[in-house]
Amino acid sequence: MGAKVIGIDISLAMTEAAKEHLPKIEFRVGDATSLDFQDSSFDLVVFSFNGLDYPHPVTMRNQAIDEIARVLRQGGKLIFSTHNSLALLFGWYKSLRPSKLMHRLKHIINGDIFLKETYIRSPSSGNTLTYYSRPSKSISTLRAHGF
């Protein structure tokens, strides 16, 4: 449809799998905190699967946001998803498995859901820390970085 698409992932295995399934699209191994593109290179950046929630500590997450802002053209768009800390409280119906319910209860009891932003260890992926914030915090962070 006329768009030039470049896919980036920090994992070589993921980029190789993507190339296998979509051979007409360019895929590169890369780190969102240090993008190998000139300023104002893109009209659109899509950061999928809550990927922006995994750079740790928050300074690295902010560095990724700065890099995205740098490579976007003026008026460009960022599409992303993120973890909402309030979902730990209101998403109870997704926690019917005992391990997920206990994970949510732990972070409700220790007060994580009341923080504007925090990192929480994922119960299913070992030591992976995941960024959670309130929507208002996500909006203020993006505005502080030029969005």
Cβ-Cβ contacts under 8 Å for 93 (sequence gap 6 or more): none
pTM of the model: 0.88
| Straight-line distance from the first to the last Cα atom of the chain, in angstroms, rounded to the nearest whole number | 27
Along the 147 residues of the chain, how does pLDDT read in single tens digits?
Answer: 788 999 999 999 999 999 999 999 999 999 999 999 999 999 999 999 999 999 999 999 999 999 999 999 999 999 999 999 888 877 666 657 787 788 888 888 999 888 899 999 887 777 799 999 999 999 999 999 999
